[in-house]
Structure 1
Amino acid sequence: MNELTRAIQETAQKLLQNKEVELVVGFAEGSLPLRNTPCFVRQPEEAQRLVWGYGCENNLANYLRKRPEKVAVVAKGCDSRSIVELIKENQIDRDKLVVIGVPCRGTIDRKKVTRLLAGKELLKAEVRDGQVVLIGKEFGETVPLEQLLYDTCLNCQHPNPVLFDIMMGEPVPVKETECFADVANFETKTPAEKRAYLMQELSRCIRCYACRQACPMCFCEECFVDCSMPQWLSKSSLNVQDNVFFQAVRALHLAGRCVDCGACDRACPMGIDLRTLTRKMVKDVQELFGYTAGVSLDLKPPLAAPINTTSPATFNQDGR
């Protein structure tokens, strides 16, 4: 990771010195162990702030929409896929973007670390040889890295950037895992069981909209939940029916656009299983239209492509 950090710093410094870009968006050290924070560098001498590691969890595509200046961004696999979709939707000008691609070996889920430590304060952490060394006051634990990675990272099929101008390091091997095993389990439930599960999960929703804010593909100037004419959701009280409605519409709006980066899941302060809905939609789009979001600039999204009446995606008269 130190080699990647140095390579990113040198690249960013050179781009700024040569005035090839006016801004570099990357990561800096966070205030907590295993947690890095988005960083915005405008001067060559500030490039030393940039880092790379297992705490670089944010999807930096979220900071690129409609920027007037030329920007360079440090992008892992899921970031680059979001960038591809945002370019297609005219939210990013490709001519004003330099993508510094970084192969990603996953990011560490701090919630898993917190559960593991059971209230003990983490003061220092280090990743070496596939192990995570966790150090606190009067304790030290060593845990296999894979046990602490985000679930999103464990079944990621695109760890390497699909779009880049400058590549840092060597590509990461793609894991041979069953990508939609969790969704298949959800699909075995009866309609009543699915509804009961979603009602139970979303009963905890406080409608803070952190999931919406974290998602790079949620960029409507006015979200339907904020509309007052008509008013789609109650603003004076919370109820689970409204929560289900909000999340269902959010998932539908992401059809053919979600890259399964897990930003919504990470942002939720209530630990709600938001990925089940979005991943179900990702799976359906792949099966019905043969489309995977963000893998190519040349492929038209399903909702922008002309209807093919001979496609297996057509429906019966009863809507199935």
Structure 2
Amino acid sequence: MHAYTEKIREAAQRLLAEKKVDGVIGFRMGTIPMISEPVFIRHADQVNQLVWNGFCGVNLANYLVKRKDRVAIVAKGCDSRNIVLQLQENQIRRDQMVILGAPCQGMVDRRKVWAFLKGRDPLQATEDGASLRVSGRDFDEVLDRQAFLQDNCRICTHRNPVIYDELLGDPVPEQTGVDRYEDVRRVEAMGFEERWRYFEDLIASCIRCYACRNACPMCYCPTCFVDESRPQWVGKTLDPTDTRTFHLLRAFHMAGRCTDCGACERACPMAIPVRQFTKKLEKDIKELYGYEAGVVPEGRPPLDTYRPDDPQDFIK
């Protein structure tokens, strides 16, 4: 059992018993290996369902927007940054939350493990420090956990929560010397036609299920632009122009707001690396304004403010 599991259960038991919260948003074991699923605990006798492990990749901040009750929530580094943004955008109040901060060593990418297994069916997956043990009916593999992390976790530089009420463990060392934008620069170096083909190929398999949008903690518009009918901005078919419009406009809506939590890629049933869109804008915001989304609770995001000395080099 992970050390955080006992601490989460103890905190949930205490907060519910003292009626300081109406519920606790956390994780419980999923029904298949390598998936821990979100759960909302309302009663103290349910806290033993709560767990923590390297399969808690879902961003729980997605369940906070427009809440009216008072909740406790388990928050990784990226979750906490989304909470900061939701506070800045008035989607929830700080006094509604008890944040249980979880310093994070990265989440396991189940798709990478499945690819390694080449069709073998995993029945159990457990972690032991730097190792990941996956077993089935006729195999027992011990893997290097670091090699099977989600791509966003491998380059994460904010593993510790930036905002919390209780910290579940000692802060973990932040990764240094990480090149977050190597892939972005590679695309930037392409010529126009090559870059256009790159993104056309990237989204060619998109089925417009909108799982990426639905999983994102910052996609909370009452009516998304793709669902508007008066006027209709995007068609309802799989026409490539409409698919392209969806991905490009959604990316621009995330400029200065994306924490690179990986929720979009994790949710995509077609395994499209949609972070290629948002990472480019993350890079631009950082270079133009020196800003990283959700890192500083005070103040306003750069695209939410005006300064006479705002960079305007992009205006020709």
Q: For this structure pair, what is the TM-score category when the shorter chain's length is used for normalisation?
A: over 0.9
Sequence identity (%): 45
Stretch deviating more after TM superposition (169-178 or 80-89): 169-178
Q: Work out whether 1:30 is the aligned partner of 2:14.
A: no
Structure 1 position 34, deviation (Å): 1.6
CA contact (8 A) 1:74 1:102 kept: yes
Structure 1 position 307, deviation (Å): 2.7
What TM-score do the two structures reach when normalised by structure 1?
0.96
Q: What amino acid maps onto 1:88 in structure 2?
A: Q
Which residue is 1:82 aligned to?
82
Which residue is 1:314 aligned to?
312
Supply the distance in 1 between the matched residues of 2:299 and 2:147 (Cα, whole angstroms).
35
Supply the distance in 1 between the matched residues of 2:133 and 2:2 (Cα, whole angstroms).
17
Which residue is 2:54 aligned to?
54
User: Aligned to 1:86, what secondary structure does the other structure show?
Assistant: helix
Supply the distance in 1 between the matched residues of 2:282 and 2:72 (Cα, whole angstroms).
29
Q: What amino acid maps onto 1:155 in structure 2?
A: I
Q: Work out whether 1:189 is the aligned partner of 2:187.
A: no
Structure 1 position 120, deviation (Å): 0.7
Which residue is 1:229 aligned to?
230
Structure 1: gaps of 5 or more residues: none
Supply the distance in 1 between the matched residues of 2:222 and 2:175 (Cα, whole angstroms).
37
Q: Work out whether 1:118 is the aligned partner of 2:118.
A: yes
What are the within-5 Å matches in structure 2 for residues 252-267 of structure 1?
252-267=252-267
User: Aligned to 2:47, what secondary structure does the other structure show?
Assistant: helix
Question: CA offsets per residue over residues 237-269 of structure 1, 9 Å max, x none?
Answer: 212221111100000000111101010011111
Which residue is 2:218 aligned to?
217
CA contact (8 A) 1:203 1:239 kept: no
Which residue is 1:202 aligned to?
203
Supply the distance in 2 between the matched residues of 1:299 and 1:117 (Cα, whole angstroms).
47
Supply the distance in 1 between the matched residues of 2:260 and 2:235 (Cα, whole angstroms).
29
Structure 2: gaps of 5 or more residues: none
CA contact (8 A) 1:225 1:233 kept: yes
Structure 1 position 143, deviation (Å): 1.0
Number of residues of Structure 1 aligned to a counterpart in Structure 2: 315
Structure 1 position 2, deviation (Å): 2.3
CA contact (8 A) 1:12 1:47 kept: yes
User: Aligned to 2:140, what secondary structure does the other structure show?
Assistant: strand
Supply the distance in 2 between the matched residues of 1:129 and 1:91 (Cα, whole angstroms).
37
Supply the distance in 2 between the matched residues of 1:65 and 1:227 (Cα, whole angstroms).
21
Supply the distance in 2 between the matched residues of 1:267 and 1:124 (Cα, whole angstroms).
22
Aligned-pair Cα RMSD in Å: 1.1
Dislocated runs of 4+, deviation >4 Å: none
Question: CA offsets per residue over residues 140-164 of structure 1, 9 Å max, x none?
Answer: 1111001110011000010000000
What are the within-5 Å matches in structure 2 for residues 238-317 of structure 1?
238-308=238-308, 310-311=309-310, 313-315=311-313
Question: CA offsets per residue over residues 136-188 of structure 1, 9 Å max, x none?
Answer: 01111111001110011000010000000001111111112112112121211
CA contact (8 A) 1:125 1:135 kept: yes
Supply the distance in 2 between the matched residues of 1:270 and 1:260 (Cα, whole angstroms).
19
